[in-house]
Amino acid sequence: MKQLSGLDATFLYLETPQMPMHVGALHVFELPAGFKGRFVTALRKHIAARLPEAPVLRRRLWWMPLNMANPAWVDAEPDLRQHIVEVPLPPSARHGDGMAELQAAVSRLHPVLLERTRPLWKFHVFEGLAPGAGGQRRVAMYSQLHHAAVDGQAAVALANAILDPSPQPRAAQAPRAALPRTFELGMSEMLRGVLGAQAQKVAQIIRELPGTVGTLGGAAGQAIGQSIGRGRVPLLSGKGAGNLTLAPRTPFNASVTEARAFAAATLPLPEVKALGRAAEATINDIVLWLVATALRRYLAKRHALPRASLVAAVPISLRAKGDTTADNQASMSLVNLGTNIADPRRRLAHVKAASASMKSTMGPLKGILPTDFPSLGVPWLLEAATALYGKVKVAERIPQVANVVVSNVPGPPVPLYLAGARMLTNYPTSIVVHGVALNITVQSYDQSLDFGLMADAKAAPDVAALAAALGVALDDLRVLVGSHDADLAAAAAAATPGLVDRTTRRVRAVVDETIGRAARQVASQFTAQVASGVAAQMAAGVAARARRGVLGGAVGATDGAPGGPGTPRIAIEAPPEAEAGSRAGARSGSTGGPKATPTPATKRARKAAGKAAKVSARVTPATRSPRASSRGRTIGTPRK
How far does CA 355 lie from the centroid of its chain? 15
CATH of 2-170+204-489, one of 3.30.2130.10, 3.30.559.10, 1.10.1740.10, 3.20.20.140: 3.30.559.10
| Percentage of residues in the chain having pLDDT higher than 70 | 59
Radius of gyration of the chain measured on its C-alpha atoms: 49
Q: Which of 151, 140, 355 is nearest to 241 (CA)?
A: 355
The answer to whether 303 is a known catalytic residue is: no
Query: What confidence score (pLDDT) does residue 402 get?
Result: 95
Which tens digits make up the pLDDT trace of 416-473?
999 999 999 999 999 999 999 999 999 999 999 999 999 999 999 999 999 999 999 9
Which tens digits make up the pLDDT trace of 234-284?
333 444 555 568 899 999 999 999 999 999 999 999 999 999 999 999 999
Q: Is the pLDDT of residue 622 over 50?
A: no
Q: How confident is the model at residue 303 (pLDDT cuts 50, 70, 90)?
A: very high
Residue 427: strand pairing partners: 26
Q: Is the pLDDT of residue 55 over 50?
A: yes
Q: Is the pLDDT of residue 407 over 90?
A: yes
Query: What confidence score (pLDDT) does residue 532 get?
Result: 60
25: left (phi over 0), alpha (psi -120 to 50) or beta: beta
In 446-513, at which residue ranges do the beta strands (DSSP E only) sit?
A: 448-456
Q: CA 453 to CA 265: how far, in whole Å?
A: 8
Q: How confident is the model at residue 486 (pLDDT cuts 50, 70, 90)?
A: low
Cβ atoms of residues 144 and 24 within 8 Å: yes
What are residue 74's phi and psi, to 5 degrees?
-130, 155
- Fill in the DSSP letter of residue 436: B
Query: What confidence score (pLDDT) does residue 592 get?
Result: 43
Q: Is the pLDDT of residue 321 over 60?
A: yes
> How would you class 153 by CB atoms within 10 Å of its CB: exposed for 0-12, middle for 13-18, buried for 19 or more?
buried
Query: What confidence score (pLDDT) does residue 602 get?
Result: 64
Domain ranges of the chain: 2-170+204-489, 538-559+599-628
Q: Is the pLDDT of residue 549 over 90?
A: no
1-10, 67-76, 153-162, 191-200: least confident range:
191-200
Q: Is the pLDDT of residue 204 over 60?
A: no
Residue 429: strand pairing partners: 24
Residue that wins the pLDDT comparison between 538 and 45: 45
Q: CA 212 to CA 196: how far, in whole Å?
A: 24
Q: Which of 4, 15, 5, 9 is nearest to 386 (CA)?
A: 15
Which tens digits make up the pLDDT trace of 349-400?
999 999 998 887 665 555 545 545 555 566 767 777 887 788 888 888 888 8
Statement: the pTM of the whole predicted model exceeds 0.75: no
| Contact partners, residue 436, CB within 8 Å, separation at least 6 | 252, 253, 313, 400, 402, 403, 404, 405
Q: How confident is the model at residue 193 (pLDDT cuts 50, 70, 90)?
A: low
Q: Which long-range contacts (CB under 8 A, 24 or more apart) does 614-623 make?
A: 615/531, 615/534, 615/535, 615/538, 616/535, 616/539, 618/531, 619/528, 619/531, 619/532, 619/535, 620/524, 620/528, 623/524, 623/525, 623/527, 623/528
Query: What confidence score (pLDDT) does residue 158 get?
Result: 87
Query: What confidence score (pLDDT) does residue 396 get?
Result: 86
Q: Is the pLDDT of residue 91 over 90?
A: yes
How do 84-88 and 121-127 pair as beta strands?
parallel
Query: What confidence score (pLDDT) does residue 267 get?
Result: 98
Query: What confidence score (pLDDT) does residue 565 get?
Result: 41
| Contact partners, residue 18, CB within 8 Å, separation at least 6 | 255, 256, 257, 258, 390, 434
Q: Is the pLDDT of residue 640 over 50?
A: no
Q: How confident is the model at residue 99 (pLDDT cuts 50, 70, 90)?
A: very high
Query: What confidence score (pLDDT) does residue 583 get?
Result: 43
Cβ atoms of residues 405 and 287 within 8 Å: no
Mean pLDDT of the chain: 76
Q: Is the pLDDT of residue 217 over 60?
A: no
Residue tagged active-site, from 83, 124, 146, 147:
147
Single-letter code of the amino acid located at 317: S
Query: What confidence score (pLDDT) does residue 485 get?
Result: 60
CA distances from 30 to 128, 229, 417, 557 (A): 13, 54, 9, 127
Burial 438-452 (b: 16+ CB within 10 A, else e): bbbbbbbbbebbbbb
Query: What confidence score (pLDDT) does residue 72 get?
Result: 87
Cβ atoms of residues 153 and 23 within 8 Å: no
Q: Is the pLDDT of residue 576 over 50?
A: no
Query: What confidence score (pLDDT) does residue 590 get?
Result: 42
**Nearest 10 degrees: Cα torsion 546, 548, 549, 552:** 160
How do 404-409 and 311-317 pair as beta strands?
parallel
Average pLDDT over residues 623-634: 42
Query: What confidence score (pLDDT) does residue 489 get?
Result: 55
130-139, 453-462, 489-498: least confident range:
489-498
Average pLDDT over residues 6-27: 92
CA distances from 412 to 142, 272, 327, 381 (A): 18, 16, 20, 40
Query: What confidence score (pLDDT) does residue 599 get?
Result: 67
**Nearest 10 degrees: Cα torsion 614, 618, 620, 625:** -50
